[in-house]
Structure 1
Amino acid sequence: MANEVQNLSGSKALSLSQESIARTISGYGMLLVLLVTLAIMAAGLLLLMERDFASGPALTAAGALTMLFVASGFYFLQPNQAAAILLFGDYRGTDRITGLRWRWPWLTRTKISTRVHNVTSERLKVNDLRGNPIEIACNVVWRVTDTAQALFDVDDYTKFLFVQIESALRTIGAKYPYDDIEHQETTLRSHADVVNLELNEELQERVSVAGISIDECRLTHLAYASEVAQSMLRRQQAEAVIAARQKIVIGAVSMVESALQLLSEKNVVELDDERRAAMVSNLMVVLCSESDTQPIVNAGTLYQ
């Protein structure tokens, strides 16, 4: 019925509950019993009307008491709904069978939904790995899989879930940088699948004590905080320009090298060091320029 959990010091921290099947029966059979007791009570009333005071009161009282006893044990369950059965506070199992159900009247029941729930967290302000303030939020799809843990191992499993969502979101938000062009590492903006998977695992580990299963967890909002948004946008633009320039230069150098090699292999023209330097300079200007270049025809030589 329960599992012992140890804390970091090795002592017993919590006795976890575990869901089991409750011993309840179908309510339709007991409904027939209820109809029989109604018939018995009606027969007793008829005998009283005929002034049969020997059998009439006994049948009426027996029928009324039996009817109250049977009627007080009925309850019903909808699809994806469960009922935890308790005997004077002692957990006796969970009933998940839908429809009309019946249990002994001295057993109490607590209904709990096992449907899929959807919650979107509030926008939190967190410092990322680089210390930059960011705003982050997520959407979580969850459901209760162990009704005993959800009801008896935490005070309020919905509030517990909301607190753990905020805690897990802060942990993941501080673990990665918002964006990074230079180091090519995992970032919150560029590696959403990796971040979502780790957030799912982090949250599942935190809420497993409450019998909750996380089906999906995804970031829904990610942005720099308003006080640094403009400066960080300019930094992103500068980093993007630098990265683009680096690729342009690398490509231009490769093209110039290929052009010089082909000219030399095919003996198109013989270039000394000065002409080679001039050609390299001209090609680099043409390939790296942001605007169209205007060709200048040289009718003489480089040495005039």
Structure 2
Amino acid sequence: MYQEKIIKPVSGYLAAAMFFVLLCIAVICFTSENFALGGVLLTVNFVLVMPGLIIVNPNESKVLTLFGQYVGTVKTDGFYWVNPFTSKTKLSLRARNLNGQQLKVNDKMGNPIEIAAVIVWQVNETAKATFAVENYLQYVNIQSEAAVRHLANSFAYDHMEDESAEITLKDGADKVSVLLEQELNERLSRAGIDVIEARISHLAYAQEIASAMLQRQQATAVIAARKLIVEGAVGMVEMALERLSEKNIVDLDEERKAAMVSNLLVVLCGDRNVQPVVNTGTLYN
């Protein structure tokens, strides 16, 4: 409905040259007291020639409308002359950064989190940006916030919340950024906006649960570390018993084996240094 039409108007240098020629002729007419012709030439100059001169800077465009009808868009930088009765709207084509504000939303598991995103975007189709939406800058802000909220609601914060999740907000940053960019392009295509890059710039638990989640993470880390220590200690005890049996160094009954296993596990799994006690008697004293 709002298909962009690229046009290249007449060179503005020719129109400027005509302006100065007509101006000189008008001055000559006034000098020779031919006021009627001089007035006509000045009217043509300042009503038809001069208002049609436009300058298009690099990475800018001019959207032209004539009596409510879209005429076309000038995207090539330069100096041009267009119909003086057209309305000329300047539209920047430069890439822009949107540093989104921190939003407090719930993740997939219902936990309150804080999230924000940085989005790099630019106008791709000037006709849609001008006519399809009321204010394309406001449209980008609102739709970007909606996309970030939807993304946060679709995934868990991390794998502690959902162990079966393939993608989480914390651990799947690259995949999450790709999904966010895709959703933004879908949402902003109506306004002719092209999203170049979108990334999560801030991600954290909300303040009311941050302390509890930190304790949970610490407890999980301690449990994981203890699990590795126990697995290693059991392997070392098993190896010690096998080597003692192979070398026939000492013959232990089941009770002494149990005592030895208990002592070795205490030494290997303890979080503090153990004070050794030397047995100067027999094994059974």
Structure 2 length as normaliser, TM-score? Answer: 0.90
Matched, 1:119 2:104: no
Query: Which residue does 1:65 correspond to in 2?
Result: 43
Task: Give the whole-Å Cα distance in 1 for the aligned partners of 2:155 and 2:84.
Answer: 56
* Aligned CA distance change for structure 1 residues 263 and 174 (closer, same or farther; 3 Å): farther
Query: Which residue does 2:110 correspond to in 1?
Result: 131
Matched, 1:166 2:145: yes
Deviates more, 1:269-278 or 1:153-162: 269-278
Task: Give the whole-Å Cα distance in 1 for the aligned partners of 2:179 and 2:238.
Answer: 45
* Aligned CA distance change for structure 1 residues 41 and 126 (closer, same or farther; 3 Å): same
Q: Displacement of 1:58 after TM fit? A: 4.6
Query: Which residue does 1:234 correspond to in 2?
Result: 215
Equivalent residues in 2 for 1:1-304, closer than 5 Å? 2=1, 17-48=2-33, 56-68=34-46, 69-181=48-160, 183=163, 185=165, 186-265=167-246, 267-304=248-285
Could you tell me which amino acid in structure 2 is paired with residue 119 of structure 1?
Answer: L
Q: Displacement of 1:87 after TM fit? A: 2.0
CA contact (8 A) 1:23 1:93 kept: no
Q: Which has the higher helix share?
A: 2
Which structure 2 segments of 5+ residues have no match? none
The percentage of aligned residue pairs carrying the same residue is: 46
* Aligned CA distance change for structure 1 residues 293 and 60 (closer, same or farther; 3 Å): same
CA contact (8 A) 1:21 1:93 kept: yes
* Aligned CA distance change for structure 1 residues 257 and 148 (closer, same or farther; 3 Å): farther
Q: CA RMSD in A?
A: 2.1
CA contact (8 A) 1:22 1:85 kept: no
> How many residues are paired up?
282
Task: Give the whole-Å Cα distance in 2 for the aligned partners of 1:33 and 1:259.
Answer: 103
CA contact (8 A) 1:81 1:113 kept: yes
Structure 1 length as normaliser, TM-score? Answer: 0.85
